[in-house]
Amino acid sequence: MQAAQSRHKSYADVRRKDLEYNVGGKVFLKVAPLKGVLRFEKKGKLSPRFVGSFEILEQIGLVAYCLALPPSLSVVHDILHVLMLRKYVTDPSHVVDYEPLEIDESLSYTEQPVEILAREVKMLRNIWTPLVKVLWQNHKVEEATREREDDMRARYLELFEK
């Protein structure tokens, strides 16, 4: 029996890795999926497996960590086993750039074109139509749209005078 246990342990130890996190670091919290339960506004397959990121406040023992959880997760105990955590690697693309918008009473704002990036002529419904690629205010270059040139000339003549 002892030989079988030691063989099983040697197989398990090959795949095992010791997880250790630094105090002050960020981690994701594993969420146990329950079938048919609405969890974090999603149900079933689309429910997230990990939520967070949360800061590690202290290490308790070898395999337990105390996390700074928000009030929305007050039902979850703040001391968690290392297997319930996953390391969060900071990524600058996760940071959202904030540019203030002028919002009116109806909680909307008007789009203003900034410049014309490109011109082209395409065939739409057997008619050759001139199109322009327009960069809009509060949008990135990747979000530029193609508009009909005659419509843009009628509304925003100042773009074509440059």
User: Taking the chain, what is the end-to-end CA distance rounded to the nearest angstrom?
Assistant: 86
Q: Which domain holds residue 42?
A: 2-93
pLDDT tens digits, the chain, 162 residues: what are they? 999 999 998 888 887 777 888 899 999 888 765 444 444 555 556 666 777 788 999 999 888 999 998 887 777 788 988 888 888 888 777 666 555 656 555 556 677 888 889 999 988 788 898 999 998 887 788 888 899 988 888 888 888 876
| Residue 54 sits in the same domain as residue 131 | no
Answer whether residue 106 is part of any domain.
no
What six digits make up the tokens of 125?
A: 């419904």
pTM above 0.85, yes or no: no
Answer whether residue 107 is part of any domain.
no
Task: Write down which residue in 93, 125, 149 finishes a domain.
Answer: 93
